[in-house]
């Protein structure tokens, strides 16, 4: 059994921010346990404070807890957020299309189909999915994620030994995809990007489009294999890459990626870069975790000459609030909901009592002073109210007279204006005038075109607007065809 520790030497206490933004990220693998401790260097901005890698091969759960307990104690975190991450090598992923766009229906359909994609029964697995967008208007493309319940429960058992509470179990490839999406600004990319994150014993193969993982596959080759036999495992790694690309193409998920991003434990893998470019005719962009992760300077200096993969565990803590996939157990989700609701109820109750107390005190303190002030103002302004009443009555009379004077003669002007537009064969039978609003005329003519000429002329008048023909009807009078009409217009 061996374990490595970054940062300060053993026995030296590490200063940490004592806030609920302190975060512990666990990754439990078959032969190794990774623990990343993150602290907040500013509001909402985390950095890696410590990283631990423990060889867990041959250790029981109790022995592993005994090894981790003093490590966590040295961090001096108070109530840290505990996040577990699940890698793709222990899950089953499927790219499928669901005939629905409703999240609840999608989850129900996936729950019914889960047993078809895994040998486990429905009660032995935990499922979730990543929404990849709408297809053909009614279908939703999803990356279906299935993890054995036993894998998830290991995190809760370990947390129980360490007297911690697991907040969330996340899907590591989703965190990797989102982190690279932000760091490399992949949102505007027109083609998918292939991301390969090399860990100690396995590697994550991802096809990412605009920050979302379209396709995920675990490659059983890691940094330790390359250290043991670089040339042989480079060939095998390329074979596994070919299988991954072939599977991706066979499922017709999306276009082939534009280039490959190689991250993680990539130190000394220049030959692998050349082999990938030669075999797949794609450019390879190699990125060091130390260059892109927010990391404490002392720790960065410590790992400058070492070949480690930090991103998979660190990214989950940095982006935990942005990750959609939650592989926590049903019991944990229910407990979380109950705890949140209890806190909300208690907080709401306390705030309500405080508010009611302040409100009652405020009302009681103002009632008397308001009543006294009202009496004083009533007595003071009573004469003014009487004078104001007289002025108001006078103003209303003056306004009525003014309105009358303004509209007087308007009816005659409008009638004169319309009369001047009448053709010789057209005569009016009715004239209606509503002061300040509208006017209506009725009439008859022996020539129907005269009506349209009148309508056009009224539309051009400076006194009228919104001219419209209400009706035009024909009749026969003493053997002659007569057209009756009605025209309405508004006053300008």
pLDDT of residue 227: 85
pLDDT band of residue 91 (cuts 50, 70, 90) is: very high
pLDDT digits (tens, 9 = 90+) for 381-419: 888 888 888 888 888 888 877 776 666 667 788 888 888
pLDDT digits (tens, 9 = 90+) for 297-345: 888 888 887 888 899 899 999 999 899 999 998 888 888 788 888 889 9
Domain assignments of the chain as residue spans, ordered by start: 3-328, 330-408, 410-491
pLDDT digits (tens, 9 = 90+) for 345-385: 999 999 999 999 999 988 888 898 888 888 888 888 888 88
Residue 20 has pLDDT above 80, yes or no: no
pLDDT of residue 15: 35
Mean pLDDT score of the chain, rounded to an integer?
A: 86
Residue 42 has pLDDT above 60, yes or no: no
Residue 3 has pLDDT above 50, yes or no: no
For residues 476-482, average pLDDT: 85
Residue 151 has pLDDT above 90, yes or no: yes
Q: What's the rounded Cα separation, in Å, for the pair 392 and 384?
A: 12
pLDDT of residue 404: 67
pLDDT of residue 44: 62
Four-way CATH pick for 410-491: 3.30.460.80, 3.20.20.105, 3.30.70.360, 3.30.1360.100: 3.30.1360.100
pLDDT of residue 325: 94
For residues 146 and 134, the model is more confident at 146
pLDDT band of residue 268 (cuts 50, 70, 90) is: confident
Q: Count of CB atoms within 10 A of residue 371's CB? A: 10
Cβ proximity of 172 and 27 under 8 Å: yes
What proportion of the chain, given as a percentage, has pLDDT over 90? 40
Which 3-state string (H, E, C) describes 107-175? Answer: HHHHHHHHHHHCCCCHHHEEEEEEEEEEECCCEEEEEEEEEEHHHHHHHHHHHHHCCCCEEEEEEHHHH
pLDDT digits (tens, 9 = 90+) for 219-243: 999 988 888 887 788 899 999 999 9
Segment among 199-208, 431-440, 453-462 with least mean pLDDT: 431-440
Residue 128 has pLDDT above 80, yes or no: yes
Q: What's the rounded Cα separation, in Å, for the pair 193 and 183?
A: 13
Four-way CATH pick for 3-328: 3.30.420.380, 1.25.40.10, 3.40.1440.60, 1.10.3720.10: 3.30.420.380
pLDDT of residue 233: 87
Q: Which of 426, 411, 422 is nearest to 464 (CA)?
A: 411
pLDDT digits (tens, 9 = 90+) for 273-307: 888 998 899 999 999 888 889 988 888 888 887 88
pLDDT of residue 173: 94
What residues are paired with 92 via a beta bridge?
146
Segment among 103-117, 191-205, 383-397 with least mean pLDDT: 383-397
Q: What are phi and psi of 348, to 5 degrees?
A: -65, -40
């Amino acid at each position: 059994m061996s374990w490595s520790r970054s940062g300060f030497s053993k026995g030296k206490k590490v200063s940490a921010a004592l806030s609920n933004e302190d975060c512990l990220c666990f990754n439990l693998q078959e032969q190794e346990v990774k623990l990343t401790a993150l602290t907040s260097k500013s509001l909402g901005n985390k950095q890696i404070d410590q990283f631990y890698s423990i060889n867990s091969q041959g250790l029981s759960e109790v022995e592993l807890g005994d090894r981790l307990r003093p490590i966590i104690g040295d961090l001096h975190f108070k109530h840290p957020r505990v996040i577990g991450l699940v890698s793709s090598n222990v899950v089953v992923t499927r790219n499928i299309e669901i005939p629905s766009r409703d999240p609840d229906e999608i989850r129900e359909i996936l729950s019914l189909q889960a047993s078809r994609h895994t040998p486990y029964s429905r009660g032995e697995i935990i499922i979730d999915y990543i929404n990849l967008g709408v297809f053909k208007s009614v279908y939703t493309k999803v990356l279906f994620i299935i993890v054995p319940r036993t894998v998830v429960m290991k995190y809760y058992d370990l947390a129980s030994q360490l007297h911690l509470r697991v907040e969330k179990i996340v899907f590591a490839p989703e965190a990797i995809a989102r982190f690279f999406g932000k760091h490399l600004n992949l949102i505007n990319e027109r083609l998918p990007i292939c991301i390969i994150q090399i860990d100690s014993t396995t590697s994550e193969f991802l096809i990412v489009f605009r920050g979302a993982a379209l396709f995920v596959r675990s490659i059983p080759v890691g940094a330790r294999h390359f250290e043991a036999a670089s040339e042989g495992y480079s060939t095998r790694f390329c074979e596994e890459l070919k299988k991954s690309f072939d599977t991706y193409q066979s499922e017709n998920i999306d276009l082939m990626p534009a280039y490959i991003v190689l991250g993680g434990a990539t130190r000394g893998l220049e030959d692998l870069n050349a082999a990938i470019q030669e075999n797949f005719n794609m450019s390879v962009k190699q990125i060091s975790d130390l260059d892109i992760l927010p990391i404490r300077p002392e720790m960065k200096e410590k790992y400058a000459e070492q070949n480690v993969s930090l991103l998979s565990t660190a990214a989950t803590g940095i982006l935990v609030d942005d990750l959609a996939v939650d592989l926590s157990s049903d019991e944990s989700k229910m407990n979380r909901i109950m705890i949140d609701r209890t806190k909300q109820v208690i907080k709401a109750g306390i705030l309500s009592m405080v508010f009611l107390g302040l409100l009652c005190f405020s009302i009681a303190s103002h009632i008397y002073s308001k009543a006294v002030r009202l009496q004083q103002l009533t007595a003071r302004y009573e004469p003014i109210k009487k004078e104001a009443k007289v002025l108001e009555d006078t103003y209303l009379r003056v306004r009525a007279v003014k309105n009358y004077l303004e509209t007087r003669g308007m009816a005659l002007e409008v009638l004169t204006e319309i009369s001047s537009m009448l053709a010789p064969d057209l005569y009016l039978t009715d004239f209606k005038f509503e002061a300040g609003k509208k006017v209506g005329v009725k009439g008859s003519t022996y020539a129907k075109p005269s009506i349209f000429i009148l309508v056009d002329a009224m539309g051009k008048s400076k006194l009228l607007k919104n001219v419209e023909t209400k009706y035009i009807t024909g009749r026969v009078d003493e053997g002659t065809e007569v057209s009756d009409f009605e025209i309405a217009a508004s006053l300008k």
